[in-house]
Amino acid sequence: MPSPSSCPPYPESLVWASDRLRLLDQRRPPAEGVWIECRSLDDVVDAIRSLVVRGAPLIGVAAAYAVVLEEARLRSAASEKRRRLEEALDRLAAARPTAVNLAYAVGRMRRVLADDPPELGAALLAVARSMAREEEESSWAMSREGARRLEPGARVLTHCNTGSLATLGPGTALGVVRCAWGEKRLAEVSCTETRPWGQGLRLTTYELLYSGMTVTLLTESAAGARLLDGAYDWLVVGADRISPRGDVLNKIGTHMLARLARLGGARVMVVAPTSTVDPAWDGRAEGRIEERSGDEVWRSLGAGDPPPGLRIANPVFDRTPAEAVDLIVTERGPGRPGDKDFAHILGL
Ligand code: MRU
């Protein structure tokens, strides 16, 4: 099994510094490495909305630390403080709709409030720290398990950015790729540019080059054509929400690539911690897909101002039905949708 020592080094993007949360501004690499200091929950809400911090597991951990910051900042009496913290938790939960890790983190912090511990700040910090540790341990477990499933000489395509910038530890899908590379199992690693924000173009290429790996960058449409031609053995992606059946919400383009992977003979591996599983999701996409400003599409290619009257659609996630997924890897191991131990793999 790949060991931490065989996994190449990776960059990090979140540091807790007792009175503030330091976040690498993920809109900037590789051109710039700018760190942003968050001192209040609303600073973190802004960072989540604006994609300073992104990637489902990292959003969850950042959200947990945001509540610690807010508790320390509020000077009110205990009952008033609890009321204001509850309101702050609602603002936090509404920052982005798709990654269930945000709701998961808010839920855990709400339970601390409900327990009413004598040292509220210390109790919130303990939970935030343990969430960070759990995500890091999960990341290692998934990365090693997923890497074992890639046969020697495998050719892999990945989408979006799912590495150490998007979580704690080596990553989810990109952690698998990283560990498999460390074990010298991979013949080819390609990534999509991931329109419109370029998480693949900017962040995945940055991470893989940092790790001393070789990577081929493709536009999404070129990746689709290559998949259809049989150029890959595996499509390896992360997730923002997984239903008990194994339906997956992930970065826009995942569904299209998964279908083309099947047509070209490649298998589809989804790698995500159990904090990304939503036991209450019925697997339908309605209301879950974040729509962002059309400006992001237009301006990402440096086209100046959009012409008046132009309508631009910018849904940034899509749904891949369970039947288009071959394997889901969580920290509990790998499982196929429909297997009898699938619920256990998803932590249900
Ligand atoms: O909009 P983003 O960049 O937050 O979207 C990220 C993704 O879709 C990732 O694939 C997912 O969060 C898994 S990250 C480990």
Predicted confidence (pLDDT) per residue in 292-315, tens digit:
999 999 999 989 999 999 999 999
From 48, 54, 192, the mutation candidate for ligand 1 (largest count of ligand atoms within 8 A of CB) is 54
Helix, strand or coil for residue 179? helix
Among candidates 5, 282, 336, 288, which has minimal Cα distance to 346?
336
Cβ atoms of 149 and 140 closer than 8 Å? no
Per the annotation, the verdict on 240 as an active-site residue is: yes
User: What pLDDT sits at residue 2?
Assistant: 52
For the Cβ of 191 lying below 6 angstroms from any atom of ligand 1, the answer is no
CA 283 – CA 96 distance, rounded (Å): 18
Residue type, 103: A
For the Cβ of 316 lying below 6 angstroms from any atom of ligand 1, the answer is yes
CA 268 distance to own-chain centroid? 17
DSSP state of 7: S
Instruction: Provide the pLDDT confidence category of residue 98 given band limits of 50, 70 and 90.
Output: very high
Find all residues with CB under 8 Å of 91, minimum gap 6, and list them: 41, 42, 45
pLDDT score of 86 more than 70: yes
CA 130 – CA 24 distance, rounded (Å): 21
What CATH code is assigned to 149-345?
Answer: 3.40.50.10470
- Which residues are registered as beta bridge partners of 23? 14, 36
Closest atom, ligand 1, to C-alpha of 56:
12
For the Cβ of 56 lying below 6 angstroms from any atom of ligand 1, the answer is yes
For the Cβ of 162 lying below 6 angstroms from any atom of ligand 1, the answer is yes
- 124-133 per-position pLDDT tens digit: 999 999 999 9
- The answer to whether the pTM exceeds 0.95 is yes
Query: For residue 225, how far is its CA from the centre of ligand 1 (angstroms)?
Result: 23
DSSP state of 201: I
Query: For residue 58, how far is its CA from the centre of ligand 1 (angstroms)?
Result: 9
Instruction: Provide the pLDDT confidence category of residue 4 given band limits of 50, 70 and 90.
Output: low
pLDDT score of 21 more than 70: yes
- Which residues are registered as beta bridge partners of 234? 156, 267
For the Cβ of 174 lying below 6 angstroms from any atom of ligand 1, the answer is no
Residues of the chain with CATH 3.40.50.10470: 149-345
**Domain range 14-138, CATH class:** mainly alpha
Residues of the chain with CATH 1.20.120.420: 14-138
β strands within 17-149, DSSP E:
21-24, 35-38
CA 11 – CA 140 distance, rounded (Å): 15
Burial, 82: exposed, middle or buried (Cβ in 10 Å; 0-12, 13-18, 19+)?
middle
pLDDT score of 204 more than 70: yes
| Catalytic residue of the set 240, 278, 318, 326 | 240
Burial track 171-192 (b if 16+ CB lie within 10 A, e otherwise): bbbbbbbbbbbbbebbeebbbb
Choice among 158-167, 204-213, 280-289 with the minimum mean pLDDT: 280-289
pLDDT score of 156 more than 70: yes
User: What pLDDT sits at residue 47?
Assistant: 98
Closest atom, ligand 1, to C-alpha of 197:
3
CA 336 – CA 348 distance, rounded (Å): 15
Query: For residue 342, how far is its CA from the centre of ligand 1 (angstroms)?
Result: 23
Closest atom, ligand 1, to C-alpha of 101:
12
User: What pLDDT sits at residue 208?
Assistant: 98
Question: Mean pLDDT throughout 122-141?
Answer: 98
For the Cβ of 57 lying below 6 angstroms from any atom of ligand 1, the answer is yes
CA 250 – CA 54 distance, rounded (Å): 13
Query: For residue 320, how far is its CA from the centre of ligand 1 (angstroms)?
Result: 14
